[in-house]
Amino acid sequence: MTNLLPHMSGRKFAVIALIGTAVLLALPYFLPPYYLGLVIKMMIFALFAMSLDLLLGYTGMASLGHAAYFGMAAYVTGLLALKLGWSVWLTLPAGILMAALTALLLGLLALRTRGSYFLMITLALSQVVWGIAFGWRSLTGGDDGLPEVPRPNLPLPWSMADSTPFYYFVLFFVVVGTLLLVRIVSSPFGCALRGIRESETRMLALGYNVWRYKLAVFVLAAAFAGLAGCLYVFNNRFVSPDYIHVARSAEVLLMVILGGAGTLIGPALGAAAIVLLENIISTYTERWLMILGFVYVLVALFTPNGLTGLIESLRKRRSGP
Amino acid sequence: MRSLIAVTVALAAFGTLAKPAFSQEPIKIGVMFPYTGPISAQGRPERDAIKQAFDEENNTIAGRKIELLYEDSTGRPDTGLTKIKALVERDKVHLLLSELVSSIGAAVAPYVNEQKMPWISTVALASLTRAQKSPYIFRFVPSSYQYATTAAEVAKKMGWKKVYFIGWNAPPSRESYEAVKKVFGEENVVDAMFPNVGTSDYAPYLTKMDTSKADGVFTAMWGADAPRIVQQYVEYGLNKKMPLFGIASFTSEELLGDMPAASVGVLSAYTYCGTLDTAENKKFVEGYQSRYKAVPGSYQYMGYMAAKMVIQAIKDINGKVEDREAFIAALGKVKVKGPMGETSFDEQHGMVADFYVLTVEKGSNGQLQNRCGERIPQVKDPYASFP
Amino acid sequence: MMFWVIQTLNGISFGMLLFLLASGLSLIYGLMKILNLTHGSFYLLGGYIGLAVVHLTGSLLLAVLVGSLSIALLGALMERFLLRRFHLQELPQTLLTFGFLFIFSDLAIVIWGGNPQTMPKPAMFSESVQFGAFFYPSYRLFIIGFGFAIAGLLWWMQEGTRVGAMLRAGVDDEETARALGINVSLLFTMVFALGAFLAALGGVMGGPIMGVYPGADFEVMLLGFVVVIIGGLGSLKGALAGGLIVGLLDNFGKVFFPEFALFTIFAPMALILAVRPAGLFGRE
């Protein structure tokens, strides 16, 4: 479990995880609906950011097109729920599956490159997906997107249209997603990924089929991004091409780096911070985009290892050399 | 939590009962537009014009203070929805006077309807008064079918028989094409082209047009693409052979300053004409200019007049906006004589207003302006033709 | 026949603007491996500054010079004081350049407002040329000639001058270039400035055709990427070929498959990626 935060014992982690879960479970009892809505958004983006971290932090592959999978799943889920009225137990897996399949296809093209070239290819390919969502009006509604997607209808006494039950619905999937991610990064597969991050050539020499590992993790990361996208479409009850835009891919990259790539908790915190910033700062200033721009620049300049890295280095300084 | 809400609601209800005539609590109005990003050029001026309208009432209506709460939709639908929720759930606004971006409009409409929150929108989305129709949603801007049908009828009256159509591959332009087809007949549309929003170069489409085959070209695109297509239209000398008819606010006053000089002669038909000589228009234009040092265009007009409609409705119910049903009933019946004549809402809550035939001309100061031609009185959304 | 001539010229003139944009992107990547997401902003700011100069002095020549040189300076400063620190670290570079994309686009709105603006054409190219029934805007013909002239100039610089030799050495093997006593640090700044210069030049020259408006930064940046992916990063030849290919594909795509306008660019891009990941003229 050392992967969630570096230098943390299993017991300490268990305590923190327990407290965190308890707080999240209790939130609806003291947060008004609007703020609960913000927390839902934070949790969804936390999952989205953690999925990118699987690529970026654990395998060393920086993608600038991760929103393509988020958006692809959102469209598939939204369309199936809206036009065919499928239940959530079908639309959710269908969305995730479609995200994974898209990643498989685009990954075959993108994975032949690396570094900044990989960044550019993933950006360009995500733009193709955006172009389809934008251009295929009869199916996707074009620029206006698909409104009126219904919330899931579960055989439970509570309606998902209310914010509290829906909060628990999202919390359930985010927790399951996180546990799976923790499981993946601490498995032998996760170790291999870290090995690839450190040195591809060494992994090749050790007999690993590096390319196959990279494709596998690319598809896996897309599947988790897809889960986040499905939850987001249920939350907003609409989907539009904006879900896939490059700006969103860049935003989730920022969340990961702001929080600290290579830990799962870091990107989750980064996501929460950015969602909060966007919703609070833009209320008070018309210069929100400039401020966001400076956030990007400052993160690049001063917190290359993210918030978690900052905390680590502060702790090290305090405890002496 | 739920019991807490119940208590609050009960207290609020008690509060309104306790103070019978009008409570001194301010009326809170949520004003959300895109204030950042590329579309802020329309969002900020529209908000300014809304402010102007309330300023003219000294921000007090029926004895109650008016409090405008601003939120920035940033032009993104998901952010817009979150911000609308902030206004409704956190700030407890009494009504919304918000938005112009159609994707945001489509995204927030179901929420607003569920919350039973009166929303006066300036989103030119036909569906707001059709598929997404709600007793709580009012659309104070012509719909795509409304402005395109008017434009096509004006051109037909001018003697056009065969036409080209070029518009964005986006709902308002597609719907505009439906209207043009209906008025002219499909066989009289020589070709219809639907480029993407933000196409850098329209030359491939324009040079496909054969000037001997048609009497004119309809174009349905706005924002930065409007001056660009005019520029490229003029570049290929097409304006000398076929007139260009812009659908909706194609030559809006705030764009004219930066339109190429050769756009003189471009036609359109819309609910706002900057040079119209009425006392109300003079008050609006001069008031806006003295406050914000700029010429107001159609976006500002929509914001200003939408606010005027709200103001009149609040006066009609003597300031009791807490009674939402009374407020929307009043708003549905409001008639206001504004800069362009009388405006009201139809039975499905779409805008009813006078249209004018506009032609771009060079003003006495050398600047481009719209010449106001024929007035088409009280144009209503054609629900019968386009259900 | 006429139809084909006119549509081909349209495609080539648009392709030339794309070449101006992509050549800078490609040069910068070739030498420094920086994915410059601010490149579209250079284009947009160049256009805005050029426009301001036109409004102030009425001179288009001055607009071209001031617009592109001031952006070259801006590029030099960005490289010298910020990007330099993150040599070969693609993540901070991406964040930095994406951050500046937001900052510059908002700055442009603060300074110039958000309304689209139109750059006037030089008087001598304001009309169309006519040969019999053939009728074509002369400014677009001028853009084609200008683009080829710039391509020739860059080619000569790369192949025929000392700086070009240094540049080629730097692209091939940075370490060896350093060992040979080439001032790689200065070279980096110069190339980044040159790239910014070319983008801004595209912004000013493209102004009379496409206008200057918020959001153009994003749109042209994406087109620039497609051009370099097709042509191959780090190759001048590739930028020229890519620009022309994308310009023509875009043009004939719009003419014959108007519903799939964007697709006629993206589909060939995906195809080239599948067959030649490094692009047509890029090195594997």
**pLDDT per residue as tens digits for the range C201-226:** 999 999 988 889 888 898 899 899 99
Band of pLDDT at residue A192, cut at 50, 70 and 90: very high
Across the range B205-212, mean pLDDT stands at 89
Q: pTM (2 decimals)?
A: 0.89
With an 8 Å Cβ cutoff, is B254 touching chain A?
no
Four-way CATH pick for B2-142+278-352: 3.40.50.620, 3.30.420.40, 3.40.50.2300, 3.40.718.10: 3.40.50.2300
What ipTM was estimated for this complex?
A: 0.89
Dist CA B159 CA B149 (whole Å): 16
- Mutation pick from C219, C273, C284 vs chain A, by most beta carbons of A within 10 Å, is C273
**Single-letter code of the amino acid located at A223:** A
Residue C165 lies in a domain: no
Say which CATH superfamily domain B145-276+354-379 falls into.
Answer: Response regulator (3.40.50.2300)
Q: What is the mean pLDDT of chain B?
A: 89
Residues from chain B that touch A286, judged by Cβ atoms under 8 A, are 35-36, 40, 44, 72
Instruction: Report whether B210 contacts B185 (CB < 8 A).
Output: no
Distances (CA, A) of B239 to B266, C138, C257: 8, 17, 25
**Percentage of chain B with pLDDT > 90?**
71
Across the range A220-239, mean pLDDT stands at 96
Dist CA B342 CA B354 (whole Å): 7
pLDDT at A219: 97
Question: Does position B13 have pLDDT exceeding 70, yes or no?
Answer: no
Residue C254 tokens read as: 């719009």
Place of tokens 């008050």: B283
**Single-letter code of the amino acid located at B39:** I
Buried residues in A311-320 as b, exposed as e (16+ CB within 10 A): bbeeeeeeee
Helix (H) or strand (E) holding B97: strand B95-98
Band of pLDDT at residue B23, cut at 50, 70 and 90: low
Dist CA A134 CA C259 (whole Å): 11
Minimal Cβ distance to C258: which of B36, B193, B259? B193
Buried residues in B289-328 as b, exposed as e (16+ CB within 10 A): eeebebbbbbbbbbbbbbbbbbbbbbebbebbbbebeebb
**Percentage of chain C with pLDDT > 70?**
98
pLDDT at A231: 97
Instruction: Report whether B315 contacts B61 (CB < 8 A).
Output: yes
Q: Does the distance separating the beta carbons of A236 and B170 come in below 8 Å?
A: no
Question: Does position A163 have pLDDT exceeding 80, yes or no?
Answer: yes
Helix (H) or strand (E) holding B137: strand B137-139
| Dihedral angle sign, alpha carbons of residues A285, A291, A295, A301 | negative
With an 8 Å Cβ cutoff, is A297 touching chain C?
yes
Q: Give the distance from residue C205's alpha carbon to the nearest chain B alpha carbon, in angstroms.
A: 14
Helix (H) or strand (E) holding B66: strand B64-72
Which tens digit of pLDDT belongs to each residue from B276-325?
A: 999 999 999 999 999 999 899 999 999 999 999 999 999 999 999 999 99
Q: What is the mean pLDDT of chain C?
A: 89
With an 8 Å Cβ cutoff, is C268 touching chain B?
no
Collapse the DSSP code of B143 into the 3-class scheme (helix H, G, I; strand E, B; otherwise coil) and give the result. coil
Question: Does position B133 have pLDDT exceeding 50, yes or no?
Answer: yes
Place of tokens 């007009």: B301
pLDDT at A21: 85
Dist CA C199 CA B381 (whole Å): 46
With an 8 Å Cβ cutoff, is C104 touching chain B?
no
| Dihedral angle sign, alpha carbons of residues B243, B244, B247, B253 | negative
Residues from chain A that touch B137, judged by Cβ atoms under 8 A, are none
Place of tokens 């003139």: C13
Instruction: Report whether B276 contacts B340 (CB < 8 A).
Output: yes
Which tens digit of pLDDT belongs to each residue from B162-174?
A: 999 999 888 889 9
- Of the listed ranges A132-136, B286-290, C123-127, the one predicted with least confidence: C123-127
Across the range B330-346, mean pLDDT stands at 95
Phi-psi region for residue A130, left (φ > 0), alpha (ψ -120 to 50) or beta? alpha
With an 8 Å Cβ cutoff, is B130 touching chain A?
no
Four-way CATH pick for A10-318: 1.10.3470, 1.10.20, 1.10.8, 1.10.287: 1.10.3470
Dist CA A313 CA A320 (whole Å): 11
Across the range C105-131, mean pLDDT stands at 84
Strand partners, B165: B192, B218
- Mutation pick from B31, B47, B72, B115 vs chain A, by most beta carbons of A within 10 Å, is B72
With an 8 Å Cβ cutoff, is C10 touching chain B?
yes
pLDDT at A319: 62
Which tens digit of pLDDT belongs to each residue from A148-157?
A: 899 998 888 8
Dist CA B382 CA B180 (whole Å): 13
- The residues, any chain, with a CB within 8 Å of residue C94's CB and separated by 6 or more, are A62, A64, A116, A119, A250, A253, C35, C37
| Report for A302-311, B53-62, B228-237: range of highest mean pLDDT | B53-62
Domain count of the fold of chain C:
1
Dist CA C281 CA B3 (whole Å): 70
Dist CA C147 CA C141 (whole Å): 10
Q: Give the distance from residue A134's alpha carbon to the nearest chain C alpha carbon, in angstroms.
A: 10
Across the range C178-199, mean pLDDT stands at 90
Question: Does position B22 have pLDDT exceeding 60, yes or no?
Answer: no
pLDDT at B375: 94
**Single-letter code of the amino acid located at B61:** I
Instruction: Report whether B308 contacts B52 (CB < 8 A).
Output: no
**Percentage of chain B with pLDDT > 70?**
94
Buried residues in B218-232 as b, exposed as e (16+ CB within 10 A): bbbbbbbbbbbbbbb
Question: Does position C125 have pLDDT exceeding 90, yes or no?
Answer: no
Across the range A217-230, mean pLDDT stands at 97
C 123-152 residues inside an 8 A Cβ radius of B: 128, 135, 137, 139-140
With an 8 Å Cβ cutoff, is B36 touching chain A?
yes
Nearest to B82 by CA among A49, A292, A293, A163: A163
Dist CA A52 CA C6 (whole Å): 47
Displacement of CA A124 from its chain's centroid (Å): 19
Minimal Cβ distance to B103: which of A32, A240, A283? A240
Residues from chain A that touch B35, judged by Cβ atoms under 8 A, are 282, 286
Collapse the DSSP code of B360 into the 3-class scheme (helix H, G, I; strand E, B; otherwise coil) and give the result. strand
Minimal Cβ distance to C33: which of A115, A131, A293? A115
Identify which has the larger pLDDT, C147 or A300.
C147
Dist CA C258 CA B191 (whole Å): 12
Question: Does position B18 have pLDDT exceeding 50, yes or no?
Answer: no
β-strands B163-167, B95-98 pairing: unpaired
Residue C54 tokens read as: 């036109």
Question: Does position A296 have pLDDT exceeding 60, yes or no?
Answer: yes
Residue C84 tokens read as: 């330099």
Band of pLDDT at residue C146, cut at 50, 70 and 90: very high
Question: Does position A111 have pLDDT exceeding 70, yes or no?
Answer: yes
Q: Give the distance from residue C280's alpha carbon to the nearest chain A alpha carbon, in angstroms.
A: 15
Instruction: Report whether A37 contacts B85 (CB < 8 A).
Output: yes
Nearest to B252 by CA among B230, B278, B282, B279: B230
Burial class (CB in 10 A: 0-12, 13-18, 19+), A237: buried
Minimal Cβ distance to A124: which of C89, C95, C226? C226
Strand partners, B146: none
Nearest to B164 by CA among B124, B220, B203: B220
Q: Does the distance separating the beta carbons of C233 and A292 come in below 8 Å?
A: no
B 278-337 residues inside an 8 A Cβ radius of C: none
Question: Does position B258 have pLDDT exceeding 90, yes or no?
Answer: no
Residue B183 tokens read as: 């008025």
With an 8 Å Cβ cutoff, is A20 touching chain B?
no
Collapse the DSSP code of B320 into the 3-class scheme (helix H, G, I; strand E, B; otherwise coil) and give the result. coil
With an 8 Å Cβ cutoff, is A52 touching chain C?
no
Q: Where in the sequence of chain B do the CATH 3.40.50.2300 domains occur?
A: 2-142+278-352, 145-276+354-379
- The residues, any chain, with a CB within 8 Å of residue B89's CB and separated by 6 or more, are A32, A33, A34, A37
pLDDT at A166: 94
Across the range B231-259, mean pLDDT stands at 88
Instruction: Report whether A274 contacts A311 (CB < 8 A).
Output: no
Q: Give the distance from residue A88's alpha carbon to the nearest chain C alpha carbon, in angstroms.
A: 32
Question: Does position C118 have pLDDT exceeding 90, yes or no?
Answer: no
**Residue of chain C whose Cα is closest to the Cα of B261:** C120
Identify which has the larger pLDDT, A1 or A70.
A70
pLDDT at A315: 73
pLDDT at A176: 94
For residue B131, report the phi and psi dihedrals to the nearest 5 degrees: -60, -40
Structural domain span for residue C86: 2-146+193-275
Dist CA A82 CA A239 (whole Å): 11
- Of the listed ranges A289-298, B27-36, B90-99, C260-269, the one predicted with least confidence: C260-269
Instruction: Report whether B374 contacts B344 (CB < 8 A).
Output: no
Q: List the chains bordering chain C where 3 or more Cβ pairs fall under 8 Å.
A: A, B
Q: Does the distance separating the beta carbons of C135 and B204 come in below 8 Å?
A: no
Residue C8 lies in a domain: yes
**3-state secondary structure string, chain A?**
CCCCCCCCCHHHHHHHHHHHHHHHHHHHHCCCHHHHHHHHHHHHHHHHHHHHHHHHHHHCCCCCCCHHHHHHHHHHHHHHHHHHCCCHHHHHHHHHHHHHHHHHHHHHHHCCCCHHHHHHHHHHHHHHHHHHHHHCHHHHCHHHCECCCCCCCCCCCCCCCCHHHHHHHHHHHHHHHHHHHHHHHCCHHHHHHHHHHHCHHHHHHCCCCHHHHHHHHHHHHHHHHHHHHHHHHHHHCCECHHHHCHHHHHHHHHHHHHHCCCCCHHHHHHHHHHHHHHHHHHHHCCCHHHHHHHHHHHHHHHCCCHHHHHHHHHHHHHCCC
- Mutation pick from A108, A120, A143, A242 vs chain C, by most beta carbons of C within 10 Å, is A120
pLDDT at B21: 46
**Residue of chain B whose Cα is closest to the Cα of A29:** B1
- The residues, any chain, with a CB within 8 Å of residue B117's CB and separated by 6 or more, are B88, B93, B95, B96, B136, B324
DSSP code at position B373 = E
Place of tokens 């990427």: C225
Residues from chain C that touch B44, judged by Cβ atoms under 8 A, are 114
Across the range C238-261, mean pLDDT stands at 88
Dist CA C260 CA A305 (whole Å): 42
Identify which has the larger pLDDT, B211 or A66.
A66
Q: List the chains bordering chain A where 3 or more Cβ pairs fall under 8 Å.
A: B, C
Across the range C189-202, mean pLDDT stands at 95
Length of chain C: 284
